[in-house]
Structure 1
Amino acid sequence: MDLTYLAQENTGNPLLNIAVFVVFIVVTMTVVMRAGKTTSEASDFYTGGASFTGTQNGLAIAGDYLSAASFLGIVGSIALSGYDGFLYSIGFFVAWLVALLLVAEPLRNVGRFTMADVLSFRLRQKPVRVAAAVATLAVSLFYLIAQMAGAGSLVSVLLDLHGTTEQAIVVAVVGVIMTAYVLIGGMKGTTYVQMIKAVLLIGGVGIMTIWTFIAVKGGFSTLFNDAISAHQVYIDASPDVAYAAEDIMKPGLKYGGTLTKQLDFISLGLSLVLGTAGLPHVLMRFYTVPTAKEARKSVTWAIVLIGTFYLMAMVLGYGAAALVGPERILNAPGGANAAAPLLALDLGGSIFMALISAVAFATVLAVVAGLAITASASVAHDVYNNVLRDGKASEEETVRVSRITVIVLGIVSIILGILAMSQNVAFLVSLAFAVAASANVPTILFSLYWKRFNTAGAVASMYTGVIASLVFIFFSPAVSGVPSAMFPNADWSWFPLTSPGLVAIPLAFLAGIIATLATKPDNLDHLAAEMEVRSLTGVGVEAPVDH
C-alpha cells in the first residue's frame, strides 16, 4: 500500500473549511459579546451571577467536559487500539458518579466562586488558598495543553498542513481567540457558548453514528468485523506491526502484556475515576446555579448527555477503523486525533467534514475558555483578593487581575501546546486528571468528611499531590525516552508509568493524614460544625464566613 499517497490524502476544500470556521467564530463571538455586556460584577465574571437553571447548567457541564479529548482523542484511540481505547471513555463517564455522590451538592452548599472557598472554609485561609491556586493552575495548564494540541491537529487536517511551523501557528491563533472569548464574555458568555456547543456536538456525533451504520450496511457485528478487516489490511502492509487484527476487540492491545503496562492501566483508571471530582473548571460549574437542587439536576443532565456521547464515540471509533483505516489515520496531520474528521469526510464529503470540524473547534474553544475562567478566578479571588489584599480588593481590581491572568495563561498554554502537538489529546487530558486526583481530591474529601483534618494536612496533601504528579510525569515515558514522547530525541525518564496516579494519589492521601495527625488542631471547631450543616443541608449558603 502506498503510504505516501495516503499521507497526502485530500482532506476537503481548505477555503470551504476556513469559511465555515469563520462563520462559526463570528456567531459564537456575537453571543459572547452580548453576554459580556451584562458582566459588570465579579460574580457575573466568575459564575454568571448564579443565574442558570439545572438543565442549562447540565448542558454547559457537558459542553465543558466533552473536550477535544472526548471527541478527537477517544475516537482516535478506539480506531487504533480498539477495546483499550474505549477504556478512556469508560473512565471519564464513571468518574461522574463519584462527582455526583461525593462532591457536587456539598461543594455547591459550601463554596461561592472557587474550589478554594470549600477547602479553606474551616481551615486557615491564606496557606490553603495559595496551595489550592497552585493546584488549580497545574490542572488547568495540563488540560489547556491538551485542547491546544487538539485544535492544532484539527485545523492541520482541515487545511492539510503537515509542517510543524504551520501547525504551531494554528495553535497560537486558537490561543488568541480563546483569550478574546474569556476577556469579552466572562462566565456568562462562556456558558452560552458551551451550551450551544454541547447541542451541536452531541447532535453532530448522533448524525455521524447513524451514518456510520448506514455506511457499513449493518449493525454492531458488521461494524466490528469491518474494523478487524481494515486492521488486517494495515498489518499486511506493515511488516513491523506486532499485533493480530482481532486484538482490537480484546483487552490488552495498549495496556496489556507486561506488568508495567498493566500497572499503567490501573494508574490511568484511578486517575480518570477520581480526577473529575477534583477538576476545578467542572467544580466551578456548580456555582453557576442558584440552589443545591439545581446543582443535582445539572449533574444528572450531564450524566445522561455524557453517557450517550461516549456510547456514540465507540461507534465512531470502530467506524473510523473500518471506513478510514489505520494507515490514513496515522499518516494524517495530527495522527490519531485526525480519525473523527477523516470519518466525517468519508461519510459526508467536504461540507460535512467542515461542519463537524467547526463543532469540534467550538469544543476546544468552549473548554479552553472555561479553564481560563477557572484559573483566572483562582489567581484573582483566592491569591490576590483573599491572600494579598486580605479580602479588601474592589471588584474592578479583582476582575482586572483575572483578565491579566487569562492573557498570561494563554501565552503559556500556546507554548506548551506547540510542544505537545504530536500527542493523543485523550492521553494529555488523562495527565490533567492525574494531577487533579492527586492534588485536589484527597483535600476535598478530607475537608468535607474528616473533622480532625487541619490546615497542615490540607497544605501537605495539595503540595504533595501537585509536586509528586508533576515530577513523575516529567520523568516518565510521556515526556522523554520513546518515539511518541514530547521530547523523542532525549531520554531522562526513570519513572516507568506514563500516568502517575497510582503513586501520586496515595502519596497525597498519606501526606494529608500524617501532617494532620502530627500537628495541632486549628481550633476552628465552630467552622467545622457550620461546614457540616451547610454541606448537608444548604442552610446559610449566602452568609459570610467569619474566620
Structure 2
Amino acid sequence: MDGNQILTSGLFLLVVLLTIYVTLRASRQTSGTDDYYAGGRGFSGLQNGLAIGGDYMSAASFLGITGAIALYGYDGFLYSIGFLVAWLVALLLVAEVLRNSGRYTMADQLAYRMRQRPVRTAAATSTVVVSIFYLLAQMVGAGALVALLLGIDSGAVKNLTIFVVGALMVFYVTVGGMKGTTYVQMIKAVLLMAGSALVVVLVLIQFDFNISDLLGSAASNSGSGQAFLEPGLRYGATLTSKIDFISLGIALVLGTAGLPHILIRFYTTPTSQTARKSVLWAIGLIGTFYLFTLVLGFGAAALLQKSDYDVAGNLAAPKLAEEVGGGIGSTSGAVMLALIAAVAFATILAVVAGLTLTSSMSVAHDVWNPVFRNGEATEQEEMKVSRIAAGVIGLVAILLAIPAQSLNIAFLVALAFAVAASANLPAILMNLFWRGFNTRGAVWSIYGGLISAVGLVIFSPVMSGSETSLLTGVDFAWFPLQNPGIVSIPLGFLFGFIGSVTSKDPKASERYIELEVRALTGAGAEGALKH
C-alpha cells in the first residue's frame, strides 16, 4: 500500500471511528422507545434541519447526480432540480400536519382513524420496500468508492465493502437509535457541505469564476458539443424517452413527501413550529448543495475524460476532487481525493443508518406490537424486535446491492422515489384531506401503488433487456419506461379512491374531524395515537 492509499485509509478510518464514538455516546442517553424512535423529541430546528439535510443529501446526490451531469449535461442536472423542488411539496403538504398527527411512524398517522392491523401492516411493508430500494444506491456507491481509493477494481473488494457498510448501519441503529443516527447525520451534513464547497471553489478557480467558460469547456470536452447544454441528450430523442423523463420528474417531485426516513424526522422536534423551522433550514442547505452539483457535474465534464470515471458516472466527484487538488500522482491531489471520498463515505453511513432505523422501527412498532402482540408488547420488547429487524433488513440490502453495481445511484434512488410516491403519498394525502377515505382505501392505495411500481420496475429495462440491466443475457421487459412513476402514482390514488367508495367505515369518517383538528392546529399532538 503506497502513501496515498495509507492517507485515504486513515481518513476513512477516522470518519468511521468518529461516527462509532458518537453512536456509543448517544446510546447512553437512550432508555425507552421515545428516545430510540424519536430521539426524545428534543432536537432544535437547526439540529433537525441539519439531520434532514444529512438524510436527504445522499450518495445519490453527491456521487450520482455529479456523474449524471458529467455524462448527460443538461438532462443530468434535471435530477438536482427534481430533488430540490420536491422539498416544496414536503413543506407545503406534509411537514407540519404529519408532525401534529403522528407519533413515531408514517403508519401512526394513517391508522389513527382506521382499523389498526391491516393499515399498519401495509404501511410497514411499503416502508421496508422503499428503504431497501434506497439502501441499494448507498451501498453501490460505497463499493465503487473503496475500490477506487484502494486502486483495486475487484468485485470481491466491492462486495466486501458493501458487507462492511451493512454491518456498520446495523450497529448505528441497534446501539444508537434515533439519537445516534441524528448526530451522525448532522456531522455528515456539515462535512458534505464543507467538502463540496471546497471542490466548487477549486473548480471555479480553474475558470476564473466564469460560469460561461465552465459550461463551454464542458460542452466541448464532452464530445457532444452544444447538445450537452440542451435538453435531449438522454431524454427526448424518442417518444418513449420523453415520457420516461416526465415519469422521472413526477417521481422526483412527489417522492420526497412519501419517503419514510424523511417523514419520521418531523417527529424528533418538540413542536410543530420547530418542525417548520427544521424544514426551512433543510431547504437552505439542500438548495445550496444542489447548486453546488451544477458546478461539480459540469466541472467533471470539463476537466475529466469519460474514461477517468466508471461507466455509471458514480466516481466523477472524487475524481474531480483529485484533479482540481493537483492531479493524479500528486500529494495534494491524493489528499483531496481522500478527503472527498471520506466525506462521501460519511454520507453513505449516515443515510443507510436513517433508512435502516426507519424500516426496522416500522416492523417493530407497526407489525410486531399491534399485529402479533395485540398492543401488549413492552417498550423493551419493541426495541429488541427493531434491532433484530435491522439485522435482517441489512442482510437483504447487502444481497440485493451486489448485483446492482452497474447502475447509476441517482437513477436507483429515483426508483425509490417512484415507489414512495406511488405507495405512501396517495394514502397520506387522502387520509389528511378526504373525509371519505377509509381502511380499505388505505390498504388498496398502499398495496396497489407498491405492487404496480415494483412490478413495472421488474418488467422494465432496469431488470432485463439491456447491457446495463440487473440481469444480463435475458429479456422479459415489456414495460418500456425506466421509471414507473407516470403510471404507478396515479394508480395509487385510483386504488385508494375505489377502495374507499366501495366500502363503509363509519369510524374512519367520524374520527376525520378529530384528525383534521390535530393536524392543522397541533392540539393534542403530544402522545398522539397511543391508543
Q: Is the 8 A contact 2:35 2:177 kept in 1?
A: yes
1:298 equivalent in structure 2: 278
CA distance in 1, matches of 2:347, 2:402: 19
1:348-385 CA distances to partner (integer Å, 9 max, x unpaired)?
Answer: 10011111111110000000000000001100000011
Q: Is the 8 A contact 1:178 1:369 kept in 2?
A: yes
2:409 equivalent in structure 1: 425
CA distance in 2, matches of 1:11, 1:99: 47
1:249 aligns with 2:209: no
Q: Following superposition of structure 1 onto structure 2, how do residues 20-31 of structure 1 map, counting pairs within 5 Å?
A: 20-31=11-22
1:156 equivalent in structure 2: 147
2:188 equivalent in structure 1: 197
1:186 aligns with 2:177: yes
Percent identity over paired residues: 55
Deviation at 1:72, TM superposition (A): 0.1
2:320 equivalent in structure 1: 343
CA distance in 2, matches of 1:543, 1:67: 31
1:477 aligns with 2:461: yes
Deviation at 1:328, TM superposition (A): 1.3
In structure 2, stretches of 5+ residues that fail to align are 326-332
2:244 equivalent in structure 1: 264
**Alignment partner of 1:167 out of 158, 162, 165:** 158
What amino acid is the match of 1:18? S
1:281 equivalent in structure 2: 261
What amino acid is the match of 2:428? I
1:463 aligns with 2:447: yes
CA distance in 1, matches of 2:320, 2:11: 18
1:53 aligns with 2:44: yes
Of residues 363-372 and 207-216 in structure 1, the stretch that sits farther from structure 2 once superposed is 207-216
2:328 equivalent in structure 1: none
What amino acid is the match of 2:320? L
What TM-score, normalized to structure 1?
Answer: 0.94
* Partner secondary structure for residue 336 of structure 1: coil
* Partner secondary structure for residue 113 of structure 1: coil
* Partner secondary structure for residue 123 of structure 1: coil
Deviation at 1:13, TM superposition (A): 2.2
Deviation at 1:110, TM superposition (A): 0.5
Deviation at 1:325, TM superposition (A): 2.1
1:176 aligns with 2:167: yes
What amino acid is the match of 1:375? S
Deviation at 1:492, TM superposition (A): 1.2
1:281-311 CA distances to partner (integer Å, 9 max, x unpaired)?
Answer: 0000000000000000000010110000000
CA distance in 1, matches of 2:129, 2:528: 29
Q: Is the 8 A contact 1:123 1:522 kept in 2?
A: no
Deviation at 1:276, TM superposition (A): 0.3
Q: Following superposition of structure 1 onto structure 2, how do residues 84-99 of structure 1 map, counting pairs within 5 Å?
A: 84-99=75-90
CA distance in 2, matches of 1:59, 1:397: 31
CA distance in 1, matches of 2:371, 2:348: 32
1:51-99 CA distances to partner (integer Å, 9 max, x unpaired)?
Answer: 1001100000000000000000000000010000000010011000000
Aligned-pair Cα RMSD in Å: 1.4
1:6 equivalent in structure 2: none
Deviation at 1:161, TM superposition (A): 2.1
1:319 aligns with 2:296: no
What amino acid is the match of 2:241? K
1:5 equivalent in structure 2: none
What amino acid is the match of 1:541? A
* Partner secondary structure for residue 13 of structure 1: helix
Deviation at 1:206, TM superposition (A): 0.7
1:72 equivalent in structure 2: 63
What amino acid is the match of 1:484? T
Deviation at 1:11, TM superposition (A): 11
What amino acid is the match of 1:112? R
Q: Is the 8 A contact 2:64 2:313 kept in 1?
A: yes
Q: Is the 8 A contact 1:11 1:157 kept in 2?
A: no
CA distance in 2, matches of 1:12, 1:346: 18
Q: Is the 8 A contact 2:251 2:485 kept in 1?
A: yes
What amino acid is the match of 2:194? G
Deviation at 1:545, TM superposition (A): 4.2
1:214-245 CA distances to partner (integer Å, 9 max, x unpaired)?
Answer: 1233411110111122113xxxxxxxxxxx32
**Alignment partner of 2:436 out of 432, 452, 455:** 452
Q: Is the 8 A contact 1:45 1:188 kept in 2?
A: yes
**Alignment partner of 2:358 out of 374, 388, 397:** 374
Q: Following superposition of structure 1 onto structure 2, how do residues 222-233 of structure 1 map, counting pairs within 5 Å?
A: 222-232=213-223
Q: Is the 8 A contact 1:385 1:392 kept in 2?
A: yes
Of residues 64-73 and 41-50 in structure 1, the stretch that sits farther from structure 2 once superposed is 41-50
1:111 aligns with 2:110: no
CA distance in 1, matches of 2:334, 2:28: 37
CA distance in 2, matches of 1:24, 1:411: 23
Deviation at 1:543, TM superposition (A): 4.6
**Alignment partner of 1:37 out of 17, 22, 28:** 28
1:414 equivalent in structure 2: 398
Q: Is the 8 A contact 1:12 1:345 kept in 2?
A: no
In structure 1, stretches of 5+ residues that fail to align are 1-9, 233-243
Deviation at 1:170, TM superposition (A): 1.3
1:126 equivalent in structure 2: 117
Q: Is the 8 A contact 2:119 2:443 kept in 1?
A: yes
Deviation at 1:542, TM superposition (A): 2.0
**Alignment partner of 1:496 out of 480, 499, 502:** 480
What amino acid is the match of 2:498? I
Q: Is the 8 A contact 1:477 1:496 kept in 2?
A: yes
Q: Is the 8 A contact 2:74 2:231 kept in 1?
A: yes
Kindly tell me the number of residue pairs found equivalent between the two proteins. 524
* Partner secondary structure for residue 506 of structure 2: coil
* Partner secondary structure for residue 489 of structure 2: helix
CA distance in 1, matches of 2:316, 2:70: 7
CA distance in 1, matches of 2:344, 2:157: 19
1:389 aligns with 2:389: no
2:329 equivalent in structure 1: none
CA distance in 2, matches of 1:500, 1:310: 24
